[in-house]
Amino acid sequence: MSHAIQDRPVQTAVRHDPLRHARLPRWSPLAIAAGSIAAGVGLGLAAGWHSRIQWGLLAALFFVLGTYAVTAKVEGSRQAKDRVATSLVWVCFILAVIPLLSLAWVTISKGLETLDPYFLSHSMNGVLDAEVGGGIYHALLGTIEQVLLATLIAAPIGLLTAVYLVEYGRGKLAQAVTFFVDVMTGVPSIVAGLFILATWNLMLGFGPSGFAGAMALAILMMPVVVRSTEEMLKLVPNELREASLALGVPKWRTILKVVLPTAIGGITTGVMLAVARITGETAPVLLLVFGTKLINENPFEGAQASLPLYVYEQYAVGTDAAISRAWAAALVLIAFVMILNLVARGIARWKAPKTGR
Amino acid sequence: MVTTTTSPPPKGPDTEARRSKSTARPGDKIFLGLSRGSGITLLVIMAAIAIFLTYRAALAISKDEANFLTTSEWNPAGNPPVFGIAVLAFGTIVSSVIAMIIAVPVAIGIALFISHYAPRKLAAPLAYVVDLLAAVPSIIYGLWGAIFLVPYLDGLNKWLDEYMGWTYIFDKASDGLARNLFTVGILLAIMILPIITNVTREVFLQVPKMHEEAALALGATRWEVIRMSVLPFGRSGIISASMLGLGRALGETMAVAVVLSPSFVISGHLLDPGGGTFAQNIASKFNEANEFGRDALIASGLVLFAITLLVNGAARWIIARRKEYSGAAA
């Protein structure tokens, strides 16, 4: 095997077969990788760097340079650029995976230290900041109520808007709605919160409540529901609509009984993904729901707690006990959101064949 | 059958009347009304956001004793009230620009990895993982950033200060933890990676196979195929994806509020703790603000709203234009 490197001269290869470039043997990337890791670790040890990541960076740098040099020598500069591009793309990917893994690992390992049934079933009533104990029952309750209310407001409006855009929408109004749905997707969550604050709280004079937060969350949720439902309705084959209309079924019944049931899997997925998105929103809740240590079952009156807000509050308190509570709550929140995501995608996959053919 | 009917065959005006009757079924009318009403509701909400924010902001700005745009101080409770958005605008733009510089190339790399480099079987799960990254709530990024990333970046900050300090921006003038705009920029970059990656990847997958095969047939390497056919085709997609990411970064609240240690100073030293962003300032100052202070915060929120509206509108406009273009080509 190793003779490929030894009699490297390009001329020999060209002489044997003029249509073929000299190629590096298949194991060469591995060899270069091993060499550069060894060099990175060696230099890191020699220079006394503590950070393993610095060793890794150095090794990656050696790898890219080494690949370029060796390939340029044997295969030519075009191939060398190609190989460097490949390794850069890999580096990009690994760069993205590192923070994800780190975030997942830190949240799970720190969250599990505090998470237990007691934590899930008790509120923070009477628990001092520095004291161990307390829980997130009140926050879980608040989040679920707020998200349910927001869904009750946003899902029908979003669904009907999507129906309008796909089934009826022609002309200026539909264009305007399409454009503003897109723009609405980009409204920062804090701005939605400020809007409800300006109207509901400052002008109409209501105090903080779960419902106020739910309205802001609904504003954030609507465009997401519209977008996903629209995509799903567009997938429903036109033949189904035409067959139904040809049987004399009114258009509204066609939509309710034929179009929507056909797309229901995708629509459910879209709504659940939207719910997952607003569950983690903290900013509007901070402005409108305010947070409390007590259990408040009524979302229409008085400050409520909320899971993401709880994480923020406990972090702001800053004592060791509070920080570990924050991690545990963060774990519950992330698990909640991820389960919603997985179930939503599961439904999409399970229901998918129906819309297919 | 026709002969058995006693009524005469319908004539022109009669059929006209019958058809209008049949389309005007009450169910249809109600349903159309409902769905059109929902569409209009969305427009009304957007308009209401603009109108009411402007109204409350006008209340605050009219009492502001200083120039709202150029003042770098935030004291609406003072006598006279003085507040301005200079620091916030600076911090928002700087942190977003840092995020873009880091995130855009990496996101393009990941998108290329998923669309052109990863083994076929891995591509779908990888795209799924990127989606999951997008679903992580921002407060959790904030918590992770403050407790895990900040101490880690302390080392990087010292290194940058030591070897890159001559560039001025990396000169760390004051001590303190890495709760600065640079760290915020890195965290924002991680947060906007998924959205940029997703949009870019979709555009890359739409590149006509013919273009790529033509390049391959001419003997191009994989990188040359990407440079000559994939990137030019996807350029407008990359731009609009980046702008969507920028919109996200500009409006990010909680992660910044948790990580940054804010101060009302404009400093070009990115590694010094301090500065602030629109959204972070609203979240941090809200609890201690009286009603007038809240109006002042709403005024700063209006500026943020306008900026994100512009950025997102531009992104959507680029996407729409490209759609027309590729539709005409197909």
In chain B, which ranges are E strands? 74-75, 82-83
- Spell out the residues 6+ positions from residue B12 whose beta carbon is closer than 8 angstroms to its own: none
Residues of A in contact with B140 (CB under 8 A): 103, 107, 280, 311, 330, 333-334
Smallest Cβ–Cβ distance between A282 and the set B30, B132, B139 belongs to B139
Residue B19 maps to a domain: no
Complex-level ipTM: 0.85
Taking 50 as the threshold, does the pLDDT of residue B15 lie above it?
A: no
Are A278 and A349 in the same domain?
yes
Give the pLDDT band (50/70/90) at residue A92. confident
Structure tokens given for B240: 């609009």
pLDDT score recorded for residue B326: 54
Tokens 């512009």 belong to residue: B310
Taking 80 as the threshold, does the pLDDT of residue A355 lie above it?
A: no
Residue A123 maps to a domain: no
A345 vs B128: CB contact, 8 Å cut-off? Answer: yes
Residue B37 maps to a domain: no
Are A160 and A107 in the same domain?
no
Is residue B167 within 8 angstroms of chain A, CB to CB? no
Is residue A346 within 8 angstroms of chain B, CB to CB? no
- How many CB atoms sit inside 10 A of residue A147's CB? 25
B137 vs A219: CB contact, 8 Å cut-off? Answer: no
pLDDT score recorded for residue A30: 83
A307-317 and A320-356 helices, crossing angle to 10°: 160
CA B131 to chain centre: 16
pLDDT digits (tens, 9 = 90+) for A46-79: 877 766 677 777 888 888 888 888 888 888 888 8
Mean pLDDT lowest for which of A1-15, A40-54, B43-57? A1-15
Is residue A182 within 8 angstroms of chain B, CB to CB? yes
Mean pLDDT lowest for which of A14-28, A33-47, B112-126? A14-28
pLDDT score recorded for residue A27: 82
Are A280 and A329 in the same domain?
yes
What is the total count of domains within chain A?
Answer: 2
The listed range with the strongest mean pLDDT (A18-32, B165-179, B263-277) is: B263-277
Are A351 and A254 in the same domain?
yes
Which residue in B has a C-alpha nearest to residue A320's C-alpha? B147
pLDDT score recorded for residue B24: 65
Residue A176 maps to a domain: yes
Are A223 and A317 in the same domain?
yes
Residue B21 maps to a domain: no
Taking 50 as the threshold, does the pLDDT of residue A100 lie above it?
A: yes
Residues of B in contact with A279 (CB under 8 A): 137
Are A194 and A342 in the same domain?
yes
From CA A324, how far away is CA A330, in angstroms rounded?
10
- Please name the residues between 191 and 250 in chain A that touch chain B, using a CB distance below 8 Å: 191-192, 194-195, 197-199, 202-203, 219, 222-223, 226, 250
Q: What percent of chain A has pLDDT over 90?
A: 45
Structure tokens given for A127: 């628990």
Continuous segment of H or E residues that includes residue A126: none
pLDDT digits (tens, 9 = 90+) for A286-326: 999 988 888 888 899 888 999 999 999 999 998 899 999 99
Phi-psi region of A209 (alpha: psi -120 to 50; beta: other; left: phi over 0): beta
pLDDT digits (tens, 9 = 90+) for B53-73: 999 999 999 988 888 888 888
Q: What percent of chain B has pLDDT over 90?
A: 40
Query: Greater confidence, B326 or B294?
Result: B294
- Domain of residue B164, CATH code: 1.10.3720.10
Give the pLDDT band (50/70/90) at residue A241. very high
- Tallying the residues shown for chain B, one arrives at 330
Residue B13 maps to a domain: no
- Please name the residues between 234 and 263 in chain B that touch chain A, using a CB distance below 8 Å: 244, 247-248, 250-254, 257-258
B248 vs A189: CB contact, 8 Å cut-off? Answer: no
Taking 90 as the threshold, does the pLDDT of residue A23 lie above it?
A: no
Is residue B147 within 8 angstroms of chain A, CB to CB? yes
Q: Which of B313, B314, B259, B308 minimizes the C-alpha distance to B283?
A: B259
Are A64 and A194 in the same domain?
no
- Spell out the residues 6+ positions from residue A53 whose beta carbon is closer than 8 angstroms to its own: none
Q: Which amino acid is at B82?
A: V
Are A274 and A324 in the same domain?
yes
Residue A343 maps to a domain: yes
Structure tokens given for B146: 């403050």
Cβ atoms of residues A306 and A285 within 8 Å = yes
Helices (H), A115-256: 117-121, 137-163, 171-185, 189-196, 210-235, 238-246, 251-254
What is the total count of domains within chain B?
Answer: 1
- Domain hosting A308: range is 137-356
- Asked if residue B80 has a cis previous peptide bond (ω within 30° of 0), the answer is yes
Are A59 and A188 in the same domain?
no
Q: What percent of chain A has pLDDT over 70?
A: 91
Query: Greater confidence, A46 or B305?
Result: B305
- Spell out the residues 6+ positions from residue B111 whose beta carbon is closer than 8 angstroms to its own: B196, B197, B200, B201, B204
Is residue B122 within 8 angstroms of chain A, CB to CB? no
A202 vs B295: CB contact, 8 Å cut-off? Answer: yes
**For residue B83, what are the β-bridge partners?**
B74
